[in-house]
Amino acid sequence: MVKYPYIIECEKRGLIMSEIGTYSIEVDTYRRLVTIKVRGTFDEAKASEFHADYLKTVYPLETNTYLLILDSQGMDVIDRDMLPKLQVSFALYRKSNFKEICFIILNEQIRQQVLKLIRFSGIADISEVTYILPEELERKIERHVVNRP
Among the residue ranges 32-36, 64-68, 114-118, the one predicted with the least confidence is 114-118
Residues 6+ apart with CB under 8 A from 63: 34, 96, 97, 98, 99
Among the residue ranges 50-59, 90-99, 108-117, the one predicted with the least confidence is 108-117
Under the banding of pLDDT at 50, 70 and 90, the label for residue 41 is: confident
pLDDT in tens, 2-24: 333 333 333 333 333 345 789 99
For residue 5, the cross-strand partners are 28
Helices marked H in the chain — which ranges? 44-58, 83-96, 108-121, 123-126, 137-147
pTM, rounded to two decimals: 0.80
Which candidate, 103, 99, 100, places its Cα nearest to that of 133?
103
All domains in the chain, ordered by first residue:
5-147 (3.30.750.24)
